[in-house]
Structure 1
């Protein structure tokens, strides 16, 4: 890539990962289409984006660990159920019609934003629920399904995790975003990147700009989320989910 194209990648990565860290997902809304626009095949673009997204998690983690403590119970549930789903989804994506999956994911993502918007008090205070064995298993089963989506279609699935942690487990938005960015950003996306890298290719020479944008954007997005609090994060979540959903539907229908 020439210097101009590297600059475009860096700018897109900065913006996408800043808003993703603020809302708890959605970096693929800008970053993945940019990689496709610049000429990468879908499978290569997806694997390359997955690698860069790990550094979004690292950048956001560097900020969140200064002001939040993660519960080992939630860490175990999110990783234990989600990681097998990610590996499954990464293996399946090469064998399904992309536009059909994108349309379905777009409708679901749009629904997340509308649902949150219709529930003004959702996620504004920490109110833990479904902490029994049955509640954790049911919640973990849904995380497995979200993990499969994450491994196959990267745009916006972190937003599903954020809302599920709020709705099912009773976390507030700020806490849920911290879990999503640390666990999904680093471990889920890392597993997806490894699986997709083994199955296909990663565009290594595009990664420096993407990684820098992910680290810096992730850190400052997480900082703004912590400083502004739940009301701000909730509104950012709703805006990003609606935009991601509409973008996925439009892309699916235009193919």
Structure 2
């Protein structure tokens, strides 16, 4: 019965994550709630997330909603960041990280709500040294964060692609999913090498995550910005509330 509940929350997590990021907000607390130890929860969630993020990425690629000229520079930075993130997960007080994340998401959420035209048009200025440098920094920082903790990484990536590189919501969502898949796979291998993955949970969880991701991605590609933006805002607010509650208690 426990595995059925975990799989349900995994499906829901990847459905949401494929549209606006933030799926870890649902899946990781679910694993904690059913008694999976923290490090095993993070590692097992990465295994499950591979199924979802990879299937979602394939959908975005087939729909030509990704920008590979930029991603080819960002993917190596994501890999390096994710490896460092997993290897330092025990070295930083998580309460400090939680506080920083809440503040960042609060700013991101307000900016998204009040800037009405955010992500409505593709304003990417093309491949140049400035954009490559910005992209590399974004990929490294958020790859590190995804390896270290994870929840909200997709939302931060979408916001960064829109705000700092000028892509619209849909292309940003596709780009974010490619980088998220990269960091998830990298992080999983590091957790697995250290024996922090429960495969009997991670595999069925992954199958349900894949189904959720396929449904969510189809809706995102079909409905574009009018669906992604409001869900992005809702997930950001929910994530802030969840982390704030954790800090207080």
Per the alignment, do residues 72 and 64 of structure 1 end up closer, same or farther by CA in structure 2, a change over 3 Å counting? closer
- Answer yes or no: is the 8 Å Cα contact 2:139–2:179 preserved in 1: no
Alignment of 1:14-53 (within 5 A): 14-23=11-20, 25-53=21-49
In the aligned structure 2, how far is the partner of 1:192 from the partner of 1:109? 23
Number of aligned positions between the proteins: 249
Alignment of 1:176-215 (within 5 A): 176-184=172-180, 186-215=181-210
Question: Does residue 127 of the first structure (1) align with residue 123 of the second (2)?
Answer: yes
- Answer yes or no: is the 8 Å Cα contact 2:65–2:174 preserved in 1: no
The counterpart of 1:228, out of the listed 219, 223, 229, is 223
In the aligned structure 1, how far is the partner of 2:106 from the partner of 2:192? 30
Per the alignment, do residues 70 and 163 of structure 1 end up closer, same or farther by CA in structure 2, a change over 3 Å counting? same
Which residue matches 1:102? 98
How far residue 130 of structure 1 moved from its aligned partner, in angstroms, is 6.5
In the aligned structure 2, how far is the partner of 1:135 from the partner of 1:66? 25
In the aligned structure 1, how far is the partner of 2:104 from the partner of 2:230? 18
* Secondary structure of residue in 1 paired with 2:165: coil
Alignment of 1:104-183 (within 5 A): 104-129=100-125, 131-183=127-179
Question: Does residue 218 of the first structure (1) align with residue 194 of the second (2)?
Answer: no
The TM-score with structure 1 as length reference comes to 0.92
The counterpart of 2:71, out of the listed 72, 75, 80, is 75
- Answer yes or no: is the 8 Å Cα contact 1:99–1:253 preserved in 2: no
In the aligned structure 2, how far is the partner of 1:68 from the partner of 1:135? 21
* Secondary structure of residue in 1 paired with 2:90: helix
Displaced runs of 4+ in structure 1, greater than 6 A?
none
The counterpart of 1:60, out of the listed 56, 60, 63, is 56
Which residue matches 2:5? 8
* Secondary structure of residue in 2 paired with 1:95: coil
Aligned-residue RMSD, C-alpha: 1.5
- Answer yes or no: is the 8 Å Cα contact 1:124–1:231 preserved in 2: no
Deviations along 1:107-152, one digit per CA (max 9) or x if unpaired, are 2123222211111101111111363212311331132111111110
Question: Unaligned regions of 5+ residues in structure 2, if any?
Answer: none
Question: Unaligned regions of 5+ residues in structure 1, if any?
Answer: none
In the aligned structure 2, how far is the partner of 1:169 from the partner of 1:144? 15
Deviations along 1:86-115, one digit per CA (max 9) or x if unpaired, are 111111111221222122212212322221
